[in-house]
Amino acid sequence: MRQAGRYLSEYREVRKNTGTFLDLCYSPDQAAEVTLQPINRFGFDAAIIFSDILVVPDALGQQVSFKEGIGPVLTPIANSGDIKELRFDGLRDFLEPVYSALKIVRAELPIDTALIGFAGAPWTIATYMVEGGTSREFAKTKTWAFSEPDQFSQLIEILISAITDHLIAQVEAGADALQIFDSWAGMLPDTAFEKWSLDPISRIVAGVKCKCPNVPIIVFPRLAGHRYLKVAAINGVSAVSLDQTISLNWVRETLQPGTIVQGNLDPIFLLAGGDAMKAEAERILNILSKKPFVFNLGHGVLPPTPPDHVADLREFVSSWLRDNR
Amino acid sequence: MRQAGRYLSEYREVRKNTGTFLDLCYSPDQAAEVTLQPINRFGFDAAIIFSDILVVPDALGQQVSFKEGIGPVLTPIANSGDIKELRFDGLRDFLEPVYSALKIVRAELPIDTALIGFAGAPWTIATYMVEGGTSREFAKTKTWAFSEPDQFSQLIEILISAITDHLIAQVEAGADALQIFDSWAGMLPDTAFEKWSLDPISRIVAGVKCKCPNVPIIVFPRLAGHRYLKVAAINGVSAVSLDQTISLNWVRETLQPGTIVQGNLDPIFLLAGGDAMKAEAERILNILSKKPFVFNLGHGVLPPTPPDHVADLREFVSSWLRDNR
């Protein structure tokens, strides 16, 4: 999950002086600085590069911006003519600032702190590209995908190529591990899930592994429920991130025997802090920490979260693991 | 799922002449008329009373309105003082128009067409009462529930009583079956799910069954994933409604042997229509129709849906069932 953000005063300071949100993503020194802020403050075991999943459509030539209080706004694409206007050439040049930021962070990070690169999955990125922003129903994207699958798959194919390339470039720039976020995977019924979430991710993982055989790849198929099993079974996937709604006993019994899992504290507990937070963290640790497990949040840190709560949680988890190993 | 709505011209006609959305819910003749519209047009096997889950907080004295293009707007409640101001007395008088509508519909419905009454579950209604409307993160409600569970449970207790009473009154007015919608059940992590979704629903079901032992009760724990099993195991629950994201093979193998299931065509297919819709409906029928099963949508009909698609689907499902029994 994104570690830097508005809950940190040092982030707000950098953000204030660096234009728009995307300007920050494309300013290597500043993106590196905010990536390192939570590591410096809390000493996590891994850093995730400060960027956004929507740099990919931006690099493909779609108009992307971020409006305060609204979220991402894109000029929606609606037909195969719009798809044809996406330009795949020059993707690496466009995204060079992201790779520069990774190089800076890797050089400054402690040697035993991992650096994670990431991208959105094709389905999730496509929803933003077609809806023109966030959505509740995903009516335009799903209608297109379900009614004209051949045309919609042209968009997915472009995204598979672009995302694969973007992930490989991140490894070449110093990322030790990769994470693929399919935030809206769970919104697809079974057959569509396999076609538009599972299959594109499998192909991206295969493409990345071909060039970078040793990089661990974590997939986050948010709200996928039972279908987490299929994602974990993708050849080349090292771990899955758990959203905050999945049943942990099911994870322990069904998913964890074959897969490393990562998650899943509801960020609301981090906002609440105190005993409620610690009790929930302990419940997660009790259920999942007997097998390979990475403690993490189930979703990003909420802006009003007091940073002290994050420090408390980090300390609580570390000492619990010391006492229970 | 609500069957009447803006996708029907005859609904828009009534709506235009009946003030606000809540005015329509509280006008027995008009509410009965729009309840019957989809039955008259499509000949479904069951009708669901035209109403809303937020009539309960409205009856408890919280300010509720519906804003075009936004959704429900409530004056949010934030502390135990606000909870104390909710007035439980007079609930049945306030909701009398809903019961009158049920009586009218029951008298006009064909004898073999079932009439379904419904209510929201306490957790879902509480999210609207605390957030003041719809929400993405449910930050206020979850923070309250997780940090001050004793105080938050005062609100849940009031809702358990009010909802139980509202459901019993609907049976007394002619409802043949009841449905409880916990639309935001899936947003709770395991322990909180048991405390704030499962337990309150169990108590409501027990309370209703005490007065109306023969009424079938359907529960819709939306996005609850594996936890559907726990809901289906509640004493007195006859069936569960499946959301459109659940894995149907899991349902057939794990859930369906012990429970009647209902669902789960993604309403986007109804919007798309044609072969894509029929293929998806057939997939659902193939997997689920060998055991007790009610064909339904996974969520409400989307406003731009052409009514012809609904007629096509109804015809397709009926003839498929005729040919495959």
Say if the Cβ atoms of B189 and A147 lie within 8 Å. no
Q: Given A241, A274, A297, which residue is the final one in a domain?
A: A241
User: Is A3 within a domain?
Assistant: no
Sign for the CA dihedral angle at B46, B161, B200, A275 comes to: positive
Q: How confident is the model at residue A88 (pLDDT cuts 50, 70, 90)?
A: confident
User: Is B2 within a domain?
Assistant: no
Sign for the CA dihedral angle at B67, A73, A25, A199 comes to: positive
Both A63 and A171 in a single domain? yes
pLDDT for the residue B232: 97
Return the structure tokens found at B164: 């139980």
Say if the Cβ atoms of B191 and A298 lie within 8 Å. no
Closest listed residue to residue A256, CA positions, set A227, A234, A282, A287: A287
* Annotated catalytic residue B176: no
Pick from A191, A225, A244: CB nearest B189 = A244
Both B266 and B196 in a single domain? no
pLDDT for the residue A209: 98
Q: Which residues of A touch B244 (CB under 8 A)?
A: 189
Sign for the CA dihedral angle at B312, A142, A67, A64 comes to: negative
Both B314 and B185 in a single domain? no
Please give the Cα distance from A300 to A268 (Å, whole number): 10
Please give the Cα distance from B175 to B31 (Å, whole number): 15
Say if the Cβ atoms of B225 and A244 lie within 8 Å. no
Q: Given B177, B202, B235, which residue is the final one in a domain?
A: B235
Both B66 and B183 in a single domain? yes
Say if the Cβ atoms of A280 and B138 lie within 8 Å. no
The whole domain housing A269 covers 250-325
N- to C-terminal Cα separation, chain B:
26
* Annotated catalytic residue B325: no
Judge whether A240 and A262 are in contact, CB under 8 Å. yes
Angle at B62 between CA B59 and CA B65, to 5 degrees: 90
Both A161 and A108 in a single domain? yes
Please give the Cα distance from B33 to B26 (Å, whole number): 12
pLDDT digits (tens, 9 = 90+) for B256-277: 998 999 999 999 999 999 999 9
Nearby residues of A103 by Cβ (< 8 Å), 6 or more positions away: A28, A173, A174
Please give the Cα distance from A271 to B193 (Å, whole number): 19
Instruction: Give yes or no for residue A213 having a pLDDT over 80.
Output: yes
pLDDT for the residue B245: 85
Instruction: Give yes or no for residue A325 having a pLDDT over 80.
Output: no
Return the structure tokens found at B221: 């724990």
To which H or E segment does residue A264 belong? strand A260-265
Say if the Cβ atoms of B189 and A274 lie within 8 Å. no
Local structure of residue A70 (DSSP, 8 states)? T
Say if the Cβ atoms of A223 and B226 lie within 8 Å. no
* Annotated catalytic residue B52: yes
User: Is A4 within a domain?
Assistant: no
Both B219 and B254 in a single domain? no
Return the structure tokens found at B283: 């997939």
Q: How confident is the model at residue A137 (pLDDT cuts 50, 70, 90)?
A: confident
Return the structure tokens found at A105: 């962070």
* Annotated catalytic residue B128: yes
Judge whether A125 and A94 are in contact, CB under 8 Å. no
Q: How confident is the model at residue A83 (pLDDT cuts 50, 70, 90)?
A: very high
Query: Could you state, in chain order, the average pLDDT of each consecutive group of 10 residues for chain B (325 residues)?
Result: 92 95 97 97 96 97 91 95 93 97 98 97 98 91 94 97 98 98 94 96 98 98 94 97 92 94 95 95 96 94 95 97 90
**Alpha helix ranges (H) inside B86-148:** 91-94, 96-108, 122-131, 139-147
Please give the Cα distance from A35 to B312 (Å, whole number): 54
The CATH number of residue A51's host domain is: 3.20.20.210
pLDDT for the residue A69: 80
pLDDT for the residue A68: 83
Angle at B107 between CA B103 and CA B108, to 5 degrees: 120
pLDDT digits (tens, 9 = 90+) for A231-275: 999 999 999 999 988 999 999 999 998 899 999 999 999 999 999
Phi, psi of A261 (to 5 degrees): -120, 155
Beta strand pairing status for A71-74 and A114-120? Answer: unpaired
**Alpha helix ranges (H) inside A86-224:** 91-94, 96-108, 122-131, 139-147, 149-172, 190-193, 199-211
**Rounded mean pLDDT of A173-193?**
95
Sign for the CA dihedral angle at B266, B267, B271, B273 comes to: positive
Both B155 and B304 in a single domain? no
Q: How confident is the model at residue A33 (pLDDT cuts 50, 70, 90)?
A: very high
Q: Which of B6, B12, B87, B283 is catalytic?
A: B6
Both B200 and B247 in a single domain? no
pLDDT for the residue B287: 97
Sign for the CA dihedral angle at B142, B143, B146, B150 comes to: negative
Pick from A143, A225, A271: CB nearest B225 = A225
Both B194 and B58 in a single domain? yes
Query: DSSP for B189-233?
Result: -HHHHIIIIIHHHHHHHHHHHHH-TT--EEEEETT-GGGHHHHHT
Say if the Cβ atoms of A272 and B146 lie within 8 Å. yes
User: Is A2 within a domain?
Assistant: no
Query: DSSP for A279-299?
Result: HHHHHHHHHHTTSSEEEEESS
Which letter, b or e, does each residue of B158-197 get, where b requires 16 or more Cβ atoms within 10 Å of its Cβ?
A: bbbebbbbbbbbbbebbbbbbbbbbbbbbbbbbebbebbb
Compute the residue count for chain A.
325
Question: DSSP 3-state assignment of B38?
Answer: helix
Which letter, b or e, does each residue of A30-50 get, where b requires 16 or more Cβ atoms within 10 Å of its Cβ?
A: bbbbbbbbbbebeebebbbbb
pLDDT for the residue B183: 95
Please give the Cα distance from A252 to B137 (Å, whole number): 26
Q: Which residues of A touch B250 (CB under 8 A)?
A: 225-226
Both A52 and A14 in a single domain? yes
Please give the Cα distance from A257 to A253 (Å, whole number): 7
Q: Given A194, A224, A241, which residue is the final one in a domain?
A: A241
In the block, which residue shows the tokens 């235009």?
A: B16
Both B231 and B282 in a single domain? no
Say if the Cβ atoms of B245 and A226 lie within 8 Å. no
Instruction: Give yes or no for residue A283 having a pLDDT over 80.
Output: yes
Judge whether B316 and B281 are in contact, CB under 8 Å. yes
Q: Cα B72 from chain centroid?
A: 16
- Give CA separation, B316 vs A130, A255, B290, B319, in Å: 30, 38, 17, 5
**Amino acid identity at B18:** T
User: Is A186 within a domain?
Assistant: yes
Mutate to test the interface with A, among B138, B190, B193, B305 (most CBs of A within 10 A): B190
Both A133 and A237 in a single domain? yes
pLDDT for the residue B53: 97
What residues of B are in the A interface, CB distance below 8 Å?
137-139, 142-143, 146-147, 186-191, 223, 225-227, 244-250, 264, 266, 268-269, 271-272, 274, 276, 280, 283, 298, 302, 304
Return mean pLDDT, chain A: 95
Say if the Cβ atoms of A189 and B245 lie within 8 Å. yes
Say if the Cβ atoms of A142 and B266 lie within 8 Å. yes
Please give the Cα distance from A286 to A280 (Å, whole number): 10
Number of domains in chain A: 2
Compute the residue count for chain B.
325
Pick from B139, B186, B249: CB nearest A302 = B139
Pick from B186, B272, B298: CB nearest A245 = B186
Please give the Cα distance from B119 to B52 (Å, whole number): 8
**Other CB atoms within 10 Å distance of the CB of residue A185:** 27
User: Is B42 within a domain?
Assistant: yes
What residues of A are in the B interface, CB distance below 8 Å?
137-139, 142-143, 146-147, 149, 186-191, 223, 225-227, 244-250, 264, 266, 268-269, 271-272, 274, 276, 280, 283, 298, 302, 304
User: Is B47 within a domain?
Assistant: yes
Please give the Cα distance from A239 to A220 (Å, whole number): 9
Mutate to test the interface with A, among B247, B252, B286, B301 (most CBs of A within 10 A): B247
Q: Which residues of A touch B242 (CB under 8 A)?
A: none
In the block, which residue shows the tokens 């996708």?
A: B7
Question: What pTM value is reported for the model?
Answer: 0.92
User: Is A158 within a domain?
Assistant: yes
* Annotated catalytic residue A11: no
